[in-house]
Amino acid sequence: MSLPRPGAARSLAATLLMAVMALLIQQVPAHAGPAPVPTTAMTRCTHDFDPDQATTLHLSGGRGTTFPRDSIVHPGDVIRIVPHERDEVSTSGWWWQPADGSNWVTPAGLDPRQSAGAGYPAPGLNKYSLIARLAGFQPFEVLRKPGCRMAGSAGTLDLRINDAQDWDNFGAWNVDIQLYREPLQDGGFEQQSTSAVRRPWNTEGPDTKVILNDVGQANHGSKSALLSSAGPRVWNALTQAIPVRPHTDYKITGFFRTSDNVNTAFFGVRLPGTWPPVERHFGPAPAYCPPLDPACYSQVTVSFNSGDHTTVTAFAGFWGVGRPATLQIDDIRVLSS
Ligand SMILES: [Ca+2]
Ligand SMILES: [Ca+2]
């Protein structure tokens, strides 16, 4: 066997080196880190930034489990479900039987596909596939709908094998879960069902606070919050306690309009044990409106860092000015890095 020419050897070495480099690059896990600027839960998920919560669920026999265990998923939260695609479950096994391989399935389920019948957890979906139920969605096959999904209503994620009889299964599937929280709930007031201000919002101060259901009065949607003062120089506000990750950069933003005598409005967050709040003083708002724009709001944004805290309190309110005055609020959002 003849030795390769020196030039050929060099090019072989270079090719090998490049192959090794390519392999190394592929094996570097997707970069996780905080978003460079505070952004939405969906953007954080699609760019693989740090989640609020990450875990690996172990589905013994593919049997059902729920996530999260200690809380719920809220509307606007974004979740990504990533099964370990090579994990296998036996759908009718007994531990003393040598597995013959015919009844082992990955989270993709049967191949070729076979629709599950009545009596299965998700009739119509592939038999023995990993199925998910998440608030606001029909049950779905996880591997057919990968990516980031936003919860439409409150609840938990339920994961299980699409097997009518799962007690006789063995083996296990592992499933990685990443949860990106939408910290503030119902910032647009669209989930408020009556004119009274209800959860998740709280109120401060003695004066009238109502939810208006009027498209022409809202910044977006049909609802907005209206704080009215008859004149007394007292504080009135809406507040909401929101979960945060410690030492993380956030941004709270909202849309406001006031009667033109209000220069006493404040918007921001209170950090426990810290005074004054991280806030912006504003009013009247907006500074200018086109004459024929009835729903003209101005946006106010405040940046903050959560420090050591896991909860902060968002607030928007104003001090009475001695005469009748109003503050109207819509589309509060909290963005996270
Ligand atoms: Ca079974
Ligand atoms: Ca609204």
Over residues 252-261, mean pLDDT: 96
Look at residue 321 in the predicted model and tell me its pLDDT.
98
Look at residue 96 in the predicted model and tell me its pLDDT.
62
Look at residue 332 in the predicted model and tell me its pLDDT.
98
For residue 180, the CA-to-ligand 2 centroid distance in Å is: 23
Ligand closest to 225 (CA) is 2
For residue 213, the CA-to-ligand 1 centroid distance in Å is: 51
Ligand closest to 168 (CA) is 1
For residue 211, the CA-to-ligand 2 centroid distance in Å is: 10
How far is Cα 97 from Cα 90, in angstroms, rounded to an integer? 11
- Tens digits of residue pLDDT in 106-120: 999 999 999 999 999
Ligand closest to 165 (CA) is 1
Look at residue 95 in the predicted model and tell me its pLDDT.
61
Closest among 112, 53, 62, 113 to 87, alpha carbons compared: 62
Ion ligand 1 neighbours, Cβ < 5 Å: 91-92, 163, 165, 168-169
Confidence of residue 180 (pLDDT cuts 50, 70, 90): very high
For residue 171, the CA-to-ligand 1 centroid distance in Å is: 11
For residue 326, the CA-to-ligand 2 centroid distance in Å is: 17
Look at residue 92 in the predicted model and tell me its pLDDT.
84
Confidence of residue 32 (pLDDT cuts 50, 70, 90): confident
For residue 62, the CA-to-ligand 1 centroid distance in Å is: 9
Domains and CATH numbers, the chain: 33-180 (2.60.120.430), 202-336 (2.60.120.260)
**pLDDT at residue 24 greater than cutoff 80:** no
**pLDDT at residue 198 greater than cutoff 60:** yes
Q: What is the mean pLDDT of the chain?
A: 90
pTM across the whole model: 0.83
Look at residue 11 in the predicted model and tell me its pLDDT.
57
For residue 303, the CA-to-ligand 2 centroid distance in Å is: 22
Look at residue 266 in the predicted model and tell me its pLDDT.
98
**pLDDT at residue 231 greater than cutoff 70:** yes
DSSP structural state of residue 304: E
Closest among 118, 88, 89, 52 to 334, alpha carbons compared: 52
For residue 279, the CA-to-ligand 2 centroid distance in Å is: 22
- Tens digits of residue pLDDT in 288-323: 777 777 678 999 999 999 999 999 999 999 999 999
At 128, list the tokens.
């023995």
- Tens digits of residue pLDDT in 38-80: 999 999 999 999 999 999 999 999 999 999 998 999 999 999 9
If 0-12 CB within 10 Å is exposed, 13-18 middle and 19+ buried, where does residue 110 land?
Answer: middle
**pLDDT at residue 4 greater than cutoff 50:** no
For residue 222, the CA-to-ligand 2 centroid distance in Å is: 6
How far is Cα 274 from Cα 186, in angstroms, rounded to an integer? 26
For 23, phi then psi, to 5°, come to -65, -45
Look at residue 29 in the predicted model and tell me its pLDDT.
44
DSSP structural state of residue 31: P
